[in-house]
Amino acid sequence: MKKNKAFLIDPVELKQLQQHVYDANMLLYNYKLAIHTWGNVSAISKDRKYMVIKPSGVSYQAMQPTDMVAVDLDNNVIGGSLNPSSDTPTHTLLYKQDSRIQAIVHTHSPFAVAWAQAGSDIPALGTTHADNFYGAVPCARELSEQEINGDYEHNTGLVIIEHFQKNNIDFIATPATLVKERGPFCWSAKSATDAVNLALTLEEVAKMALYTKLINPLQKQANIFLQNKHYNRKHGKNAYYGQKK
């Protein structure tokens, strides 16, 4: 464990965060969104000074809550004895970019990966999509040779941020992206559990979009008023879906 003198970790919060991140990773596995050691879930601390993430290359069945790794936002391991996910710098960059993001998930779920491998946005073809993602789920551009052979995972985060900024996409209204020829990242302003639920939603939406294109290859995005209606009845100012909090 590297020393980090810049801040103190509350051991109670760390333990809770490890349990929360462990549970969310196991939910990912139980949803069958990840096999073997694939995929990873992280969540950030309240002071946003460190995150906790799945260890690299460890199988879901073998993991324990204490195996979850604490990493500061400069990618230094500050808690835990294992290596963190190799995608750590992508996670930390996104946390630094938007302070509303509380948790991040990366999966290799097959329908979402297929859209990423085709280099295509997932178009908003209906209300299941619009209930959860405002507009298309974007596909970020290919990294250049220099970006790949340089600080690859950090650059992956930069390319995601570039795409959201260039296209004026709000990270919370559209809490997911595809990385070209790779796969999906999702995030949540609520919790790691919610981020994993979104990853399952994204896979369902990606599946429905593929099936729709097989019925009508020229299918365009859904009626924009319908998209707005569904997004707003769940997430808007006057949302009326769900229970009062």
Least distance to a second copy from the beta carbon of 229, Å? 5
Q: Which is nearer to a second copy, 46 or 245 (CB)?
A: 245
Closest CA to 137 of 157, 111, 103: 111
Q: Binding residues for a second copy, how many (CB under 8 A)?
A: 61
Sheet holding 77-79, edge to edge: 77-79, 69-72, 50-53, 40-44, 103-106, 183-188, 176-179, 139-140
Token pair recorded at residue 67 = 């195996």
Rule CB under 8 A: choose which of 26, 118, 172, 189 binds a second copy: 118
User: Which residue is listed with tokens 């340089």?
Assistant: 150
Rule CB under 8 A: choose which of 12, 225, 237, 238 binds a second copy: 225
- Cβ atoms of 212 and 122 closer than 8 Å: no
Least distance to a second copy from the beta carbon of 230, Å? 8
Supply the residues annotated as catalytic. Answer: 131, 241
Rule CB under 8 A: choose which of 2, 61, 145, 238 binds a second copy: 145
Supply the DSSP symbol for 37.
T
Q: Which is nearer to a second copy, 15 or 235 (CB)?
A: 235
Q: How far apart are CA 92 and CA 111, in angstroms?
A: 26
Stretch near a second copy under the rule CB under 8 A, chosen from 9-17, 19-27, 42-50, 52-60 = 52-60
Q: Is 69 exposed, middle or buried (0-12, 13-18, 19+ CB in 10 A)?
A: buried
Residues near a second copy (CB under 8 A) = 35-38, 55-58, 82-83, 86, 108, 110-111, 113-120, 125-128, 142-143, 145, 148-149, 152, 181-183, 197, 200-201, 204, 207-216, 219, 222-223, 225-226, 229, 233, 240-244
